[in-house]
Each structure stands twice: as structure tokens, then as C-alpha cells.
Amino acid sequence: MGKNLVIVESPAKAKTLGRYLGKDYTVKASMGHVIDLPVKELGVDLDNEFNPTYQVIRGKSKVITELKKAARNAGEIYLAPDPDREGEAIAWHLASVLPKADKRIHRVMFNEITKSAVLEAMASPQELNRSLFEAQQARRILDRLVGYKISPLLWKRVRSGLSAGRVQSVAVRIVCEREEEIRRYNQKEYWSILASLLTGGQDALDARLWSVDGKRVVTRPDEEAEREDRFWINGEKVAEELAGELRRAGDGRVAEVERKQKKRNPQPPFITSTMQREAAVRYGWPARKTMQVAQGLYEGIELGGDGATGLITYMRTDSTRVSESAIGQVRELIRAQYGDKYLPGKPNRFSGKKQGGKVQDAHEAVRPTGVERTPSSMKRFLNPDQQKLYTLVWSRFVASQMTPALYDQTTIDIEAAVRFILRATGSVMKFPGFTRVYTENLEKSPGAQNGNGEERLLPNIDPGEVLELKQVTPRQHFTQPPPRFTESSLIRELESNGIGRPSTYASIMSTITDKGYVQRLKGSLRPTDLGFVVTGLLVERFPGILNVQFTARMETLLDEVEDGRKDWRKLLGEFYRDFEPALEEAKKQRGKVVIETDVACDKCGAKMVIRWSRHGAFLGCSNWPECEGTKQFERDENGEIRIVEEPTTDVKCDKCGSAMIQKKGRYGPFLACSNYPACSNIKPITTGVKCPREGCAGELVEKRTRRGKIFFGCDKYPECDYATWDRPLEVACPQCGKKPLFQKIFRGGRAGGAYCESCKAKFAMEELSDGSGGDDGVAQSA
């Protein structure tokens, strides 16, 4: 009998497991899913209980052939994709394509990829989990029904190429509704009054006006302005009258001094969403990057003589649970490295409650697999991004099992001019506790603040002491609208509403920006005009489906399928019963959706409207087709329309001879004929580098994929299909003299050195700058 076969998703994971399992096992990678619903058809039989039709994913036939061959010669077969719904679906699909005669197929799952965890899982294999698979299948079919059925409506009424999604469209709606709230917001004016006082010992003390005639001074007019027990200083006149009355008082008397100890408890170890949020706040990382870095730490890092080892537990989780063995290890480390005063009497436990759905408590929190592997000891094995994230995970986990931070907080109330109370507050950290290791960036410090919003130590004074009033300063403030969402805060909003799951947050963030519905603006998310118009159309036609409550309810029902309490076919039937009538009604709508503006058409004076073409949004005359006036535009930071002048180039149109102008479309800049609409010729912007393919007279031009990634291809396509991810340079190779060279472009856009396709020579960019080609030539090309 042959070796036992283990199948995982990725080569990195396969390499790590292969080292642990030894010579009696063959470990293969499926490279993710191997079968899926078809790309160009619905793939769901609506008349036969929603039975799906699966097809081999393009490019996976060779993988399946290799896995079948390995399975035929294997003893036992172990399917070991990730321990979640997607991983279970991969396992079921693998089982469906592998030969089963006289073969036993097992399911094994690891929460961490360490030798002990892997060997323990292999010793206790499980059966495939039908309920978990059916929950994933139901989600996949739900998403296919919404996307496949609604997207054509968007093509007809907005523009081609758009898509709708059961969860993504709700996420865009949340962003749009926040933007509308910001636009509707009316600022409210309010004032604060700061007082500088002097004690008998000549110690300075700053306080702010706390109450007038027993009514607390308003600091949040949006929430407090209408309350009868609040005093709203809503204008300069009132503020100056109060300040004058305080100045005339001359001094104040200490009415009360309150001293108490406050404690700040540590946060629980990371779950997926909190890890994504913290990485976003600290490093500005999008959720997708955080998950990519975490995936590498989970699947295994080469640790010299120890080989590849998984450094963190599974990173797609919403559970804060930690194994007892891990708690024991971290408590030992805290005692040894920080001392007994940093170790609580018993382990800290954290609530697993979650709004809008169940916690997947089969998984642990995201934690280091071995707390003894400190960030400093791992630094030499990790790249900078891995080091940053591992440090966060390790520090958060260690801190979660430490004692609270302790603060001494003092509050001093001062009576002045009979009707006024001034208040000064301050705090001092008495014991750092867990903050010695980690402080979350998302939270404000719990220490009390003075009138300037700064933490400080107050002078030692007693009730009855008289204080000299040295200065009174009124300050004007205005309320601010709610902030735009960031990726971090949008993930928090989705999670708090029970929308999405740990495995979906990163893809939701990527999808809504990649589709052009939301754009990143200085770290925040702002809906585009396209996002607004698509959201408006979907909410109008499908109000009962594309809303927060319905989407959260579906997540709960999918959890019930996973638990075996809900039949997946009934779930889909209940959904489609409401969805189909709304769909048929929406199909009756006609006409393109546009957004009206106040911009006047240069040609006829009519108002212009925002329309969409395959190149993106533009302003078109509302009198179209009688008037064909168009303009390019962009939005400023306040959302106002700003006309963009289109630069004329020296390039002539090869169809009519007119000058070409540079325009900006969805996939970047391109050239368009200035004689539009009489001539609609467009062409990409050339690099000036001739196509290196022998016999081709074309030039290499910059292009973008549908996901916005830059590549370079021949402008004679499809006659010539030459393409490269690397940037062409109009520079001769120092060794063979041929042009062009290519500058290596790595994932994420990082540029590397240059190389020659002809002789395979490689060069640092500094070599080219100092030698052939010259500084100017290389700089201009690169």
C-alpha cells in the first residue's frame, strides 16, 4: 500500500505539514477551490430545489489530475483545508472528484500549524461535516442569485460591467447613508469657559466651567441641548456675560475634592475584526493586506534549524477563547519576565457574546502558537510586515492575561460667584499593569482630563481653601458631523450589525473599492457618484432585501444551517419567494439613471448630468442626444464638483488626424480623440519603448487589469499578445547592447532592479544610472 495522502490548500502549508508528518505521508496542495459554480451561467436549478451545477475552475484541471493520481496510489486520504466553511467546502469538493474505491477519506483540522497540533489532529481524524458544507453552499448560492439576477439591471440602467452583491451592496449602502448624514448635518455653536486659578501655595490650577445655577454646561449640543438640566452657552454674548461675572468674583472656594482609584482592564486577544482594525489604525493597512500577512504567519515561517513553523493560530475567527495550555504558558512567561504583581490571581476570561449571530467558538482567538517565541527572537526570520503583525498578536495576547492598569483620579469642584461650579480633573498612573506590554490604539486613555483635554497631576488642596482667579477665557466650538467610515470602523459597523463573518471582511472591503462604489480619501471611505446611484436604485427596487436587518438575519439563518437546525434548501426557498416578485417588478423599469448637477453646458446652456461610460463617470448635457456636450470632472474633499481640464497632447488620432487629449478612466489615464463624438477613437498611453517581440512594429503601452493592477502590453494587440508585469525601460543593456531593459515590479508595486530579456543579465538601478543610459534616461523611463 502506498503512502497516505494529505491535501491542503496552499504549497506553504503543504511544506510545513510535510516536514511534520515524515516519509509515510505525501502532502499535496489543491491551490484553493478546485470546482465552483460556472462563470457564464447561473448554475443553480431554480425548478429543482436550487441544485447547483459545479464546474472545474479554469486552470485547475491539471491540479485535479495530479491529485487523482496521488489518491489512486495512496493508502488513507486526509483532507486538511482550513477549519471553516470555505475550508469544508474545499474538502467536500475534493472528495467529490477523487477516486473513492477502497479508499477512506478523513477530515482533519488544525487551529494552529505546529508539530504537536498537527500530530494530534492526524491521530483523531473526523468525518466530513455536511452541515458546515451546506452552510457554505447556501451562502454561495444566495450570493450567486443576488449577483447574477440583479447585476443585469444595473447594466441596463447605469452601465455595463457593474455588479451587485448581497453583502457588498449593504456595505456600500451604509457608507452612502453616512455620507448623506454628513451632508445634511447642521453645525451647532457652543462655548466653554476656562479658568486659571492660583492656590495659596502659588500652585497653578486650570478648571472649566462645569455648571451654572445647578445645571451642567452643555459640551455635546447634539445630545444635550434640549435637556432642562443642561445649560447651553450658545453664543458669544452669553459666554462673555458669564466670563465677566466670573472675573468680577475674583476668587473661588474649593467645595469638594474627590480622590478615587480607577482601573483599566486589558482587552481580549485578537479576533479577525479587531486585528484588522488595529493594523489599519497603526499601519494604515487595508484588511486584505492584514489577512495576507497573517496567512503567512499561520501557514509557516522558516525558523532556521527548526524548519517551517506556524507562528500564530488560525486568523479567521470571532472567538476570544484561548486553550488552557496556552493560558498556562503565558502565565508562566508573565511571572518570569514581569513578576508576580503583573499576574492576576486567576486567568482573565472574556465574554464570547456577539450581536447578530453566534460565535464560532470551535476556533481560538488569534494568538502566538508559542508565547516563548518573542517578537525580538523572531525578528531575524520575519520580513518587516510579518514582524509588525506578529508583534501586535504576541503583545495583545500577553497583555490580555496581565493585571489592570491603575490610576489615581482626582476631581476638584470650586464654587465661584455663588451660581458657578468650576471643575478640574486629573489622573496619575500608579501601576502600568498590562500597558507595560500593549496599549490599543483604538481606545482613548481612561485618565480624566482637564479643560484643555490633557492628563495631568493636580495640586494637593483641601475643601474650603480659597483660590485666586487669575484669568477667564471663553472658547468657541462647533459640533462636527459624524466622521466618514474608515476600513477599520466599517468593519466594526458590519460586525456590530451581524453582517459578514471573519472570512468575508477583507473581501468586502476590497470589492466595494475595486468596483468603484467607494473610494479611499486620506484614509477614509467616501462613496462615489456611482456608489450613490447604484445604492439608490437597489434600495428603491429591493428595499426588503438590501438592508442591514435582512442581511444580518440571513447570517443567523446560515448559522442555523451550520448547526443542522435549518435545511439549506428551505432557506433558499424562503429567500427566493420574496426576491423573485421584486426582481420581476424591477425588470419593468426603463431609462438610464443619471445624477443632476448645477453645471451648465458650454454648448447649449442646459444643466449637465452625471453619466457613466466604460471609462468612468463624466458630465453630459441633459439635452442629449440633441446636444452632445461633455466634460470631465472630479469631486473635491467636500464632495463638490470640480471641472477637470483635459490636456491636449502632440499625438495625432490615427483615424481622423485630430489631436488626442488625455482623459482619466476607471482603469487609469488614456488618450481620446478631441473630435469626439464625431470620432470616438481611443488608445492607451505609450511608454515610448518598442515591442521586443521579433517582427512586431508596435510599442509597449501601460494598461490595467480589471482589478486596477498595472501591466504593459503591445499596442498591436490582438495581433501581438506580448505582455509583462515589469516596467519597460528605453535603456540599452550594458552587456549585450540590446533594448529594452525591464525593471522588476513586485507585488504591492515595489520596484526592484532591472534585467535584460535577451541575455538574462541583471542590474541594480544604480549601475544603470552611473553607466549606460545616463541618469536622465533611466529616471525618465522608470
Instruction: Work out the end-to-end distance of the chain between its first and last CA atoms, rounded to an integer number of angstroms.
Output: 58
Taking the alpha carbons of 312, 317, 319, 325 in that order, is the dihedral positive or negative? negative
Continuous segment of H or E residues that includes residue 211: strand 204-212
C-alpha–C-alpha distance, residues 276 and 241, integer Å: 50
Q: Which of 122, 172, 163 is nearest to 144 (CA)?
A: 163
Own/partner long-range contacts of 694-701 (Cβ < 8 Å, ≥24 apart): 696/720, 696/722, 698/722, 700/724, 700/728, 700/740
CA distance 226 to 230: 8
DSSP state of 426: E
DSSP string, 306-370: G-EE--B--S--------HHHHHHHHHHHHHHH-GGGS-SS--------TTS---TTS--B-BS-
Contact 574, 556 (CB under 8 A): no
429543482: which residue's cell? 48
Give the C-alpha separation, 79 to 107, whole Å: 5
Q: How far is CA 595 from the centre of its chain?
A: 29
CA distances in angstroms from 410 to 40, 454, 469, listed in the order given: 68, 14, 20
**Interacting residues of 183 by C-beta distance below 8 A, sequence separation 6+:** 639
Question: Do 600 and 608 meet the contact criterion of CB atoms below 8 Å apart?
Answer: yes
Catalytic residue among 314, 342, 390, 576: 314
3-state secondary structure 187-198: CCEEEEEEEEEE
Dihedral of the CA atoms 642, 647, 648, 654 (nearest 10)?
-90
Query: Alpha-carbon distance 378 to 303, whole Å?
Result: 8
* CA pair distance 521, 484, nearest whole angstrom: 10
Residue 17, classed as helix, strand or coil, is: helix
Q: Is 272 helix (H, G, I), strand (E, B) or coil?
A: helix
d(CA 7, CA 756): 39
Sign of CA dihedral 760, 765, 770, 775: positive
| CA 328 to each of CA 321, 325, 345, 348, 372: distance values in angstroms, whole numbers, following the listed order | 14, 5, 13, 12, 12
Residue 426 in contact with residue 455, Cβ under 8 Å?
A: yes
The pair phi, psi for residue 74, each rounded to 5°, is -90, 160
- Are the beta carbons of 220 and 478 closer than 8 angstroms? no
Task: Return the residue matching grid coordinates 489577512.
Answer: 291
Place of cell 540599452: 732
Put residue 279 in one of left, alpha, beta given phi > 0 → left and psi -120 to 50 → alpha.
alpha
Rounded-to-integer distance, Cα 776 and Cα 782, Å: 10
Amino acid at position 667, single letter:
Y
314 is catalytic: yes
Rg (CA), the chain: 32
| 590, amino acid identity | R
Taking each helix axis from N to C end, the angle separating 85-97 and 130-157, rounded to the nearest 10 degrees, works out to 100
Q: Is 693 helix (H, G, I), strand (E, B) or coil?
A: coil
761 and 733 Cβ atoms separated by less than 8 Å: yes
Q: Considering all CA atoms of the chain, what is the largest pairwise distance in Å, rounded to the nearest integer? A: 99
- What Cα–Cα distance (Å) separates residue 175 from each residue in 190, 285, 516, 519, 526? 29, 19, 13, 10, 7
Active site (catalytic) residues: 314
